[in-house]
Amino acid sequence: MKPTSKKSIQYKDLLNQDTELTIWLDLSTYCNASCPQCHRTDINGLGKASWLPLIKWSIDDFKKKFTKQSLKSITQFEICGTWGDPAMSKDLVKICKYIVDNSKAVISINTNGGIRTTKWWEDLGKFCGERLTVFFCIDGINNEMHQKYRRGVDLQTTLDNMEALASTEAEARSFVVLFKHNQHYIDDIKSLAEMYGATRHHVIKSDRFLTNNIFKFTNAEGKEETLEEVDINVDQKIRNNWINSASDNLMGIQGKTDKTTYVPSKQREVDR
């Protein structure tokens, strides 16, 4: 007798049932930034990884996947920036307005905030109102510190766009990634973000140092650079304390006891 196999659950199977779904969604693989540790970035020159196709959803693409009927089962859309920045989608405002007009779902967006005009962000906030929360990446107190990681993103542009959104009923929050170069500026970064309308802060330390305490890459000019892991205790200030255990577990699997022993051939593969 052949063993019976369980049928995998499909998205369509969850719709039109007594369910409350949270959708985590990437709308675009395009991005204006070249963050060295990002999934989409090639560490040899900081261009787009060659294996990543360029995709950008339109409002029509979204409607095909999320009909008005299906929206009744969805309570939250988390529009993330794993493979690209959501604001690179030319129809992001239309997509958000479609969600707001046809459902009770709330929307959260993660963005570097370095593209579009202040009017565009203000309009987005006006369309969505209090059902929208946007996390803006703020990684420094000045442009030099910010762009140490957030390559190609002007800090002042991000702050101005955050202020424009915060002038509406939508909520603006800061998203801060910690490294050694900005670890002593957590409170200063929060204060700066609050000056431009941020109401809350999501602070994490970079989770891309699982087996090494440095991250090597080649910049756009062909020069080698490094990012360094936080080297002070920030456990009371971050949201991802779990990364310490994950790092210890992976180190054990690899038989490593010291992160300072650099393993270049495995870092990109393992840390992803």
Write down all domains in the chain, each with its CATH number in brackets.
11-271 (3.20.20)
Closest CA to 182 of 208, 158, 148: 148
Per-residue pLDDT at 3 exceeds 90: no
If you ran DSSP here, which 8-state letter would residue 73 be given? G
For residue range 88-118, list pLDDT tens digits in order: 999 999 999 999 999 999 999 999 999 999 9
96-99 long-range Cβ contacts below 8 angstroms, 24+ apart: 96/124, 96/127, 96/128, 96/132, 97/127, 97/128, 98/59, 98/62, 98/63, 99/66, 99/71
Q: What is the mean pLDDT of residues 51-69?
A: 96
Closest CA to 86 of 134, 149, 158: 134
Average pLDDT of the residues of the chain = 92
pLDDT level of residue 11 (50, 70, 90 thresholds): low
What pTM does this model have?
Answer: 0.91
pLDDT level of residue 266 (50, 70, 90 thresholds): very low
Provide the percentage of residues in the chain whose pLDDT is more than 70: 90
- Tokens in use for 215? 């991250």
Q: What is the pLDDT of residue 225?
A: 98
Closest CA to 43 of 219, 227, 271: 219
Closest CA to 129 of 81, 86, 169, 185: 169
The region that residue 173 occupies, defined by phi over 0 for left and psi between -120 and 50 for alpha, beta otherwise, is beta
Residue 150: Cβ within 10 Å count: 25
Q: What is the pLDDT of residue 265?
A: 46
